[in-house]
């Protein structure tokens, strides 16, 4: 709270640039308010209008929202469409086939341009090849690919034939990949020989081989391999096939599979408060509508724009704002294979200058790490590059602290580009609370106001509204088209986790805390209220990491908490009790390293604990409950001010401090 009040007080409010506002898709506060009023007057009519204007339907829908089986809401249910048709064919049919869809820059700097016509052709060829292998509507295809044109083509090709894709981030381990393939019931896997990042090759195919061998994957009968590096791979001729070989002989035309609006376009796994990740299931119609609509509203997309979202297709941001949103509106976008620090920390700025990027969307962690480096080395500082083409810059994935916001605004945005701090989640499918570049006066550290049609509010534990200025739980009051439909294979978990009875069963629980400014009503996100960490914008479940740790033969017990970190937002701190004696000194360091590597193998390198502390026990109440609050204070190195009288074993604190 004090943050917003003090920034407002200090005059740190940035009104929208007048010229941008004048030409913006949503131009000025009155236009925004008019949209809000339209949604308030006729909620369904509002969404129906957008869905008709933004999406091309094969068969128009006659009902907008079906609430009969709430919270399993249905949108535009009897409408039929195809996502890939919307993202590709309709632009070619409109005469925009020669427009550049993707400017792909490889890790080593090689640039490839792909037009909408090219992209459609590639998607059709792969879609035909998938059909030839018996894949059809409703089948699940796992995609384990690096950032690549082929990755986008794979997603679109699945959409074209009505297969539901599930992309697994290339940084996940073979075990994580195996679990996801099993849970989703995959019958095909699309992967790559090796991934190139920062000049290093990472063997995706061999990780995939391990995952396939780990059991439960007998149904995966086709493994399609994109040859990226030509590095050596193991080959199972019964199952493995090269992408370039199977697409070579296919036709350039592929009739899309027209699907109902509720047909699952994709399932994307994300972490929650239990030990197992959940498959967030998204629809076709509602998802596509919001991915496209938010491109127009939040990014104020214009045909002359060059859009660049630096996310990976393995996360929701890469689904909504690389694979589907930009293509759905016919945008030209940069797709980048590599990392921001290779060959040096000026890579982002250098690429913005070379590709004349107008709209740049990245994570606060990336900004914070680049601030550090460019403070020490002026040659990689954004001011050493011509960033004058930029007009809108955005952030996503975690809170952005005001200092990083100011640096981004000044040095990347040249003081003239609105900083669009977008709050949303895997489950929401697209932006929810965000400034609009031609509308909103910005306050660093606040994601400002909900988009039209999104009824975000802050409530207490019983689901009642709290007044502005008072912290609480962030909820969404009404269903919206791009919302999660269910947790794949576990509808009870969906209902319990997102529409809990404690809150009355009708409010969507985001899992974040929030507070609204007294005067402006602006939202500031105060962080997760559940056992979910946010490390570099990546969502990690503490329980998942704990399960991974206790799966190690040395470990008796483990508790994982987050500690705030200047660069990555949070880091993972693990408190571990070994089966043997408590190790000290060099022995402790050695075991800690082994356990870190173990977690990397079990989940993926992103989940490795930064710090591991050993104790003979964990601080517990007399009923045996681990006192996590206490562990968080210990991890942060804070003085213990909590009441420890309920603690069974106070002596343990000394060991863990």
Is residue 295 within 8 A of residue 331, CB to CB? The reply is yes
Least Å distance, CB 248 to ligand WT7, is: 37
Let me know: does 608 contact 542? Beta carbons within 8 Å. no
Q: Which residues contact 34 (CB under 8 A, 6 or more apart)?
A: none
Query: What residues contact 152, with CB distance under 8 A and at least 6 apart?
Result: 102, 119, 313, 322, 323, 327, 335
Residue nearer to ligand WT7 on the CB measure, 114 or 532 = 532
- What binding mask, one character per residue, do residues 464-493 give for ligand WT7 by CB under 6 A, x or -? ------------------------------
Find out whether 641 is annotated in a ligand binding site.
no
270 part of the interface to ligand WT7, by CB under 6 A: yes
Contacts with 106 (C-beta within 8 Å, 6 or more apart), sequence order: 112, 196, 337, 338
Of the pair 280, 353, the CB lying nearest ligand WT7 is at 280
Site string for ligand WT7, 162-201 (x = CB under 6 A): ----------------------------------------
User: Smaller CB distance to ligand WT7: residue 122 or 165?
Assistant: 165
Provide the sign of the torsion angle of the four alpha carbons 409, 410, 415, 417, taken in this order.
Answer: negative
Q: State the angle between helix axes of 43-54 and 285-297 in degrees (0 to 180), rounded to the nearest 10.
A: 80
CB of 177 to ligand WT7, least distance (A): 18
197 is known to lie in a ligand binding site: yes
Work out how close the CB of 485 gets to ligand WT7 at its nearest, in angstroms, rounded to a whole number. 15
CB of 55 to ligand WT7, least distance (A): 22
Buried b (16+ CB within 10 A) or exposed e, 253-266: ebebbebbbbbbbb
CA of 293: how far to CAs of 86, 320, 429, 430, 434, in Å? 13, 11, 12, 9, 13
CB burial of 376-394 (b: ≥16 within 10 Å; e: otherwise) equals eeeebbbeebebeebbbbb
Vertex 146, ends 142 and 149: CA angle to 5°? 95
Q: Residue 357, annotated ligand binder?
A: no
Assess whether the previous peptide bond of 262 is cis (omega < 30° from 0): no
Contact by Cβ (8 Å): 453, 428: no
The HSE-up count of residue 637 (CA atoms within 13 Å, CB side) is 3
Cα–Cα distance between 173 and 441 in angstroms, integer?
43
93 has binding-site annotation: no
Q: Is 550 annotated as a binding residue?
A: yes
Query: Please, what is the minimum distance in Å from the beta carbon of residue 397 to ligand WT7?
Result: 4
Say if residue 75 carries a ligand binding annotation.
no
- Distance of closest approach, residue 528 Cβ to ligand WT7, in angstroms: 5
Residues 536-575 that bind ligand WT7 (CB under 6 A): 539
Q: Are 604 and 598 in contact (CB under 8 A)?
A: no
Q: Which of 152, 331, 525, 618 is in the footprint of ligand WT7 by CB under 6 A? A: 525
Q: Where in 416-435 is the site for ligand WT7 (CB under 6 A)?
A: 421-426
Q: What are 216's two structure tokens?
A: 């439960």
Among 511, 541, 615, 619, binds ligand WT7 (CB under 6 A): 511
Q: Report how many residues bind ligand WT7 under the rule CB under 6 A.
A: 22
Return d(Cα 486, Cα 128) in angstroms, integer: 30
Looking at the Cβ atoms of 118 and 512, the one nearer to ligand WT7 is: 512
Q: Is 223 in the site for ligand WT7 (CB under 6 A)?
A: no
Nearer to ligand WT7, 257 or 398 (CB): 398
State yes or no: residue 316 binds ligand WT7 (CB under 6 A). Answer: yes
* Residue 512 interacting with ligand WT7 (CB under 6 A): yes
Instruction: Please state the closest distance from residue 270 (CB atom) to ligand WT7, in A.
Output: 5
Which span (102-110, 162-170, 309-317, 609-617) binds ligand WT7, by CB under 6 A?
A: 309-317
Q: Which is nearer to ligand WT7, 530 or 557 (CB)?
A: 530
Q: Are 285 and 61 in contact (CB under 8 A)?
A: yes
Residue in the shown chain whose Cβ atom is closest to ligand WT7? 426
Instruction: Report whether 239 belongs to an annotated binding site.
Output: no
By CB under 6 A, name the one of 281, 317, 327, 552 that touches ligand WT7: 317
Collapsing DSSP to helix, strand or coil, 439 comes out as: coil
Candidates 131-139, 183-191, 238-246, 508-516; binding stretch for ligand WT7 (CB under 6 A): 508-516
The answer to whether 30 is annotated as binding is: no
DSSP code of 503? G
x-or-dash pattern for ligand WT7, window 389-418, by CB under 6 A?
-------xxxx-------------------
Q: What pairs with residue 561 in β-bridges?
A: 573
Residues 6+ apart with CB under 8 A from 429: 282, 286, 287, 290, 291, 316, 320, 482, 483, 484
Q: Closest approach of Cβ 498 to ligand WT7, in Å?
A: 12
Does position 606 interact with ligand WT7 (CB under 6 A)? The reply is no
Per the annotation, binding residues for Mg(2+) are 550, 555
Per the annotation, binding residues are 197-200, 317, 397-399, 421-426, 512, 528, 536, 539, 550, 555
Per the annotation, binding residues for ATP are 397-399, 421-426, 512, 528, 539
Per the annotation, binding residues for CoA are 197-200, 317, 536
Residues that bind ligand WT7 (CB under 6 A): 270, 315-317, 396-399, 421-426, 447, 510-512, 525, 528, 534, 539
């Amino acid at each position: 709270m004090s943050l917003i009040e003090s920034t407002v007080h200090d005059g740190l409010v940035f009104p929208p640039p007048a010229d941008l506002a004048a030409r913006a898709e949503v131009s000025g506060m009155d236009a925004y308010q008019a949209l809000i009023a339209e949604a308030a007057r006729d909620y369904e009519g509002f969404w129906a209008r957008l869905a008709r204007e933004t999406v091309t339907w094969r068969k128009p829908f006659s009902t907008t929202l079906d609430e009969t089986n709430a919270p399993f809401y249905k949108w535009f249910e009897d409408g039929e469409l195809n996502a890939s048709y919307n993202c590709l064919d309709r632009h070619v049919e409109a005469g925009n086939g020669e427009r550049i869809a993707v400017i792909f820059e490889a890790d080593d700097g090689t640039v490839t341009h792909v037009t909408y016509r090219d992209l459609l052709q590639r998607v059709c060829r792969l879609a035909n090849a998938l059909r030839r292998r018996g894949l059809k509507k409703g089948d699940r295809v796992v995609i384990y690919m690096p950032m690549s044109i082929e990755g986008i083509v794979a997603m679109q090709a699945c959409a074209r034939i009505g297969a539901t894709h599930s992309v697994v981030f290339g940084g996940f381990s073979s075990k994580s990949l195996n679990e996801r393939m099993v849970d989703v019931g995959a019958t095909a896997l699309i992967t790559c020989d090796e991934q190139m990042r920062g000049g290093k090759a990472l063997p995706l195919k061999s990780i995939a081989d391990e995952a396939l061998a780990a059991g439960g994957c007998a149904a995966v009968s086709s493994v399609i391999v994109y040859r990226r590096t030509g590095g050596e791979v193991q080959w199972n001729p019964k199952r493995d096939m090269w992408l370039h070989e199977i697409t070579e002989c296919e036709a350039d035309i592929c009739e899309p599979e027209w699907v109902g609006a509720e047909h699952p376009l994709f399932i994307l796994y994300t972490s929650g408060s239990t030990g197992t990740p959940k498959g967030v299931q998204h629809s076709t119609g509602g998802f596509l509508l919001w991915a496209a609509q938010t491109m127009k509203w939040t990014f104020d997309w214009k045909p002359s724009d060059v859009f660049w979202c630096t996310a990976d297709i393995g996360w929701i941001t890469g689904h909504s704002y690389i694979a589907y949103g930009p293509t759905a509106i016919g945008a030209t976008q940069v797709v980048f294979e590599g990392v921001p620090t290779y060959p040096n920390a000026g890579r982002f700025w250098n690429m913005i200058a070379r590709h004349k990027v107008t709209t740049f969307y990245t994570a606060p962690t990336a900004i914070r790490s680049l601030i550090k480096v460019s403070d020490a080395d002026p040659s990689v500082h954004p001011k050493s590059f011509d960033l004058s083409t930029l007009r809108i810059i955005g952030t996503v994935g975690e809170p952005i602290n005001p200092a990083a916001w100011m640096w981004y605004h000044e040095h990347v945005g040249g003081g003239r580009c609105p900083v669009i701090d977008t709050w949303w989640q895997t489950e929401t499918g697209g932006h929810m609370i965000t400034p609009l570049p031609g509308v909103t006066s910005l306050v660093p550290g606040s994601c400002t106001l909900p988009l039209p049609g999104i009824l975000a509010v802050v409530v207490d534990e019983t689901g009642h509204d709290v007044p502005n200025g008072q912290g609480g739980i962030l909820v969404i009051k009404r269903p919206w088209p791009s919302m999660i439909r269910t947790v794949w294979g576990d509808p009870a978990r969906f209902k319990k986790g997102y529409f809990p009875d404690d809150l009355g069963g009708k409010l969507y629980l985001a899992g974040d805390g929030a507070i609204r400014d007294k005067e402006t009503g602006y939202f500031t996100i105060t962080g997760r209220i559940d056992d979910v960490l946010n490390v570099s914008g990546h969502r990690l479940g503490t329980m998942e990491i704990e399960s991974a740790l206790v799966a190690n033969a040395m470990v008796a017990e483990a508790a994982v908490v987050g500690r705030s970190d200047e660069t990555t937002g949070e880091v993972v701190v693990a408190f571990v009790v070994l089966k043997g004696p408590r190790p000290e000194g060099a022995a402790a360091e050695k075991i800690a390293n082994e356990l870190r590597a173990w977690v990397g193998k079990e989940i993926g390198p992103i989940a490795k604990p930064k710090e591991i502390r050993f104790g003979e026990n964990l601080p517990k109440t007399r009923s045996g409950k681990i006192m996590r609050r206490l562990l968080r204070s210990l991890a942060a190195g804070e003085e213990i001010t909590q009441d420890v009288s309920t603690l069974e074993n106070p002596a343990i604190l000394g060991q863990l401090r």
